[in-house]
Amino acid sequence: MGTRSGGGNTLKCLSKRCLLRLSSGGGRCLLRGKSFNDAPLTSHIWRFYSLPSPRSKLSSFKGSSLSRSFSTSSSSKVGLLGWYLGKLESQPVITKALTTSIIFAAADFTSQMITSSSSGYDSIRTLRMAGYGFLFLGPSQHLWFNFLSKSLPKRDMLTTIKKMFLGQAVFGPVSTTVFFSYNAALQGESGEEIVARLKRDLLPTLINGAMFWPSCDFVTYKFVPVHLQPLMNSSCAYIWTIYLTYMASLKKVSDD
């Protein structure tokens, strides 16, 4: 106990001597407009301990840099999606046509990779499919889905079933007929050969489509907004188009 009290008195004496030397030397240490003597000792101690530590600066810098990089990456994703949605609003027909064209080209490429033959990859065939998506299916989907949304605006179960039935009874047969006729004509087939192809391939394709499309149509009409329905339909059509491009690549009826 004696040693602790003696050490404490010695520390107090040293601190008082330091303060006396600072004040008696004529040099006044100004601190926010006050001399060192005028400022209370507790204020100096508070200012000393309130200085930020380098570790806290480093952690705040790391946190700010991480949050900045995260916000940048998320804004880029939102920016790409926002750009596409903006194009759907400002230029709906051309945007949907380009989207459908890309999906059809990718589907035909996949179909050729699956059913590859000794002749190799047919780029002209892929261009035909992309042209069909751009010239016919993309714009027709825009008109069809807008027509259904105005004629049958509700999303209840009965209205959804009506839209599904119209899709299978009207839009599906018309678009499939145009698809087969378009591809056959670009391959140099005559009118009689196109009719013979339709008699051979159209009905089996529509039957297979009746087993594939109802589930996709239900989700599209029931839950997807109207301006995104062509995109949803084209995304489902990616799988369906692999089958369609295979059917369209079959030989002419006269060659069978």
Distance CA 128, CA 187 (A): 9
Q: What is the pLDDT of residues 164-202, one digit of tens each?
A: 999 999 999 999 999 999 999 999 999 999 999 999 999
What b/e string do you get for 114-131 counting C-beta neighbours within 10 Å, with b at 16 or more? eeeeeeeeeeebbebbbb
- pLDDT of 59 reads 52
CB 241 within 8 A of CB 129: yes
2-16, 119-133, 240-254, range with the lowest pLDDT:
2-16
More confident site: 53 or 146: 146
Helix and strand element counts for the chain (H, E): 10, 0
Q: What is the largest CA-CA distance in the chain?
A: 121
Rounded CA gap, 150 and 152, in Å?
Answer: 6
Contact (Cβ atoms closer than 8 angstroms) between residue 126 and residue 109: yes
Residue 211 pLDDT > 70: yes
The burial of 111, by beta-carbon neighbours within 10 Å (0-12 exposed, 13-18 middle, 19 or more buried), is given as buried
Identify the DSSP state of 31: B
Region 62-69: mean pLDDT is 49
The predicted structure's pLDDT at residue 242: 84
Sorted by sequence, the CB contacts under 8 Å of residue 95 that are 6+ apart come out as: 84, 87, 88
State pLDDT tens for residues 132-169: 999 999 999 999 999 999 999 999 999 999 999 999 99
Asked if residue 200 lies in contact with residue 167, where contact means CB atoms within 8 angstroms, the answer is no
Q: What percent of the chain has pLDDT over 70?
A: 66
Read off the pTM.
0.65
Taking a C-beta distance cutoff of 8 angstroms, is the pair 237, 103 a contact? Answer: yes
What are the tokens at 97?
């046509």
Do residues 220 and 229 touch, judged by C-beta distance below 8 A? yes
User: How far is Cα 256 from Cα 24, in angstroms, rounded to an integer?
Assistant: 117
The pLDDT score that the predictor gives to residue 32 is: 45
What pLDDT does 28 receive?
46
pLDDT for 247: 76
